[in-house]
Structure 1
């Protein structure tokens, strides 16, 4: 009882939860323990960034990184965020709401939450944590569906982090990444990668190493000045209709496992390029980074059917003619968002060319931080 009163005191008068820090953002949560031992209604908000992938996508997919004797993926977290709000309720019911999709699902209890609804990934997260009592889960995705920016992964990390806090579970951010990937695989029924989850959890400009017994993150740019140098050379735009990334990824996995030589040799070249790009980013050799982005894309577009489209190629050509150094679709490809690498002095002209060709230029910032969670008592 003393612990519960102490927790309520912290939340009521200071508006924060107790969190014990760890290495690389790992944490243990006390606030959920306090919540479970008190009857005070709670509101927990979590937000997480999405990401731009620079090189090495697909190398984070099981089993490709094993068959390649290790994978390396480079990405950066951006401020196009996804968020979730959890609100405890006293009637034991569960309400799931997606503001961007306009969907609401109602259940009598946590036990009765169905995995057959349109919000399956949220339902699976709730089933995994089994929070005590009732709650309302409201999610908001600020990114277009099928953008290729890892928005669904960002939202899942936000949901899991909020539930981790709510229930007082001891999972670290690194453990939540593994849980998220497993839950996603259950939903989409194909193998999943983890690069999106690392960006959502930890933020920053990262090199992600995928090995036999672990996956680890290396921060490539640590200062605000270095991050802005990369940011001012990247244009993000929406280049076409959304697509199901799982299908494209599955085509690449199948081609690789079936020893399609174009795919196998292509992935080996992508891995080599990704290692070279990591070195170039660390050295701030932006001209070489641009060249490597172009090389990676020229290979990636051949790895599986559906990676690019005629409309996307026309938009990319317009950017190049306006002075861009390189283009690359984000995520699995087939549509969605693309990055364009430019010299800062040519940025305005290239942005105008992209818009004239039918792309929607999207303002963004690279962010150093990952998921954030805030708790407060309901008033």
Structure 2
């Protein structure tokens, strides 16, 4: 058996600039970090080698790979011609909550199959292959940030160049500031899950038409400013920039926010939060806030939402177990 774990991510600023319709014209950038919540994938030869068993939110037992219902499993296993195995996927958080679950799964699956087949791919190659599968082959209206965040891990400034290449640069900051940033970030679950595709499709259309491109350029500028704030130990400015970025993000497409989320956000600002945002494309999932520890209990009481503890992680997708069979 082989087991891998791949982290989910939270994005602070620049989300949307990783869509090709934007970065091919202007270039894009995102500030994000991976967190200690993971997607775990295991692979093992199936007892009856004529069949392939897949276990995720559903169970599939197929004789022919073309019969697989799960789109990513279908695409990857057919491309690799891997059958006669049992693959299980479990996760710390459900899909549709704004933490990049689909791309985290794709990156983790690729890493697992690379190990199973004895192949080596760099973290950048894994991320780019995941982008190819999701965006080009499966036609998902998503960007590139989640795949790179899951593959590399860490607190990074990710730049999307006009030629399609991607640069990943770790944030250079004092360890004391790094720890304080974690202490000042709190996350709450709104109780809603949603597909990001409809929101992203509208955002992609709006960006291509040019109507929202100016605001997205401003969001990229905020990501640059956030990077500077972290590297100069200015966490108060980071919190204020987080708020400014959320205000701009809401203009990119309808459905990014709703009255319930808006009310929760304003309640948070009135109870100690300096800034925040809804993670992911919008519509539901997790609310993230920058709030100093002295105000966090007041914030929790006011919001009446489920807290979601987390910390930063630095490893990205990794293999955590290899059974003896694979050393033969």
TM exceeds 0.5?
yes
SS of aligned partner of 1:368:
coil
Structure 2 equivalent of residue 49 of structure 1: 7
Structure 1 equivalent of residue 195 of structure 2: 244
Which residue, 319, 331, 340 being the options, matches 2:280?
A: 331
Structure 1 equivalent of residue 292 of structure 2: 343
Q: 1:129 offset after TM fit, Å? A: 2.1
CA contact (8 A) 2:9 2:34 kept: yes
Q: 1:64 offset after TM fit, Å? A: 0.8
Structure 1 equivalent of residue 141 of structure 2: 191
Q: For 2:102 and 2:95, locate their aligned partners in 1 and report how far apart those are by CA, in whole Å.
A: 8
Structure 1 equivalent of residue 323 of structure 2: 376
Q: For 2:12 and 2:67, locate their aligned partners in 1 and report how far apart those are by CA, in whole Å.
A: 34
Larger deviation, residues 77-86 vs 190-199: 190-199
Unaligned 5+ runs, structure 2 = none
Structure 2 equivalent of residue 72 of structure 1: 29
Partner deviation per Cα, 1:318-359 (whole Å, 9 max, x = no partner): 11111111120111111111111111211221122222xxx2
Unaligned 5+ runs, structure 1 = 1-42
Q: For 1:222 and 1:122, locate their aligned partners in 2 and report how far apart those are by CA, in whole Å.
A: 39
Q: 1:90 offset after TM fit, Å? A: 5.6
Q: 1:144 offset after TM fit, Å? A: 2.3
Partner deviation per Cα, 1:4-49 (whole Å, 9 max, x = no partner): xxxxxxxxxxxxxxxxxxxxxxxxxxxxxxxxxxxxxxx1000011
Partner deviation per Cα, 1:146-194 (whole Å, 9 max, x = no partner): 1100122112211110101111223222111111112222676333212
Which residue, 58, 61, 65 being the options, matches 1:106?
A: 61
Number of equivalences: 323
Answering whether residue 226 of structure 2 is matched by residue 277 of structure 1, we say yes
Taking only aligned residues, the RMSD between alpha carbons, in angstroms, comes to 1.9
Q: For 1:53 and 1:222, locate their aligned partners in 2 and report how far apart those are by CA, in whole Å.
A: 18
Asked which structure has the greater CA Rg, the reply is 1
TM-score (norm 2): 0.93
SS of aligned partner of 1:193:
coil
CA contact (8 A) 2:62 2:68 kept: no
Q: For 1:316 and 1:234, locate their aligned partners in 2 and report how far apart those are by CA, in whole Å.
A: 14
Q: Specify whether residues 312 and 172 from structure 1 end up closer, same or farther in structure 2 by C-alpha distance, changes over 3 A only.
A: same
CA contact (8 A) 1:235 1:351 kept: no
Q: 1:254 offset after TM fit, Å? A: 0.3
Q: 1:113 offset after TM fit, Å? A: 1.1
Which residue, 304, 307, 311 being the options, matches 1:365?
A: 311
Q: For 1:338 and 1:347, locate their aligned partners in 2 and report how far apart those are by CA, in whole Å.
A: 14
Q: Which has the higher relative contact order, 1 or 2, with Cα contacts under 8 A spaced 6 or more apart?
A: 2
CA contact (8 A) 2:107 2:147 kept: yes
Structure 2 equivalent of residue 167 of structure 1: 117
Q: Specify whether residues 187 and 331 from structure 1 end up closer, same or farther in structure 2 by C-alpha distance, changes over 3 A only.
A: farther
Q: 1:86 offset after TM fit, Å? A: 0.2
SS of aligned partner of 1:114:
helix
Q: For 2:140 and 2:73, locate their aligned partners in 1 and report how far apart those are by CA, in whole Å.
A: 18
SS of aligned partner of 1:325:
strand
SS of aligned partner of 1:146:
coil
Structure 1 equivalent of residue 217 of structure 2: 268
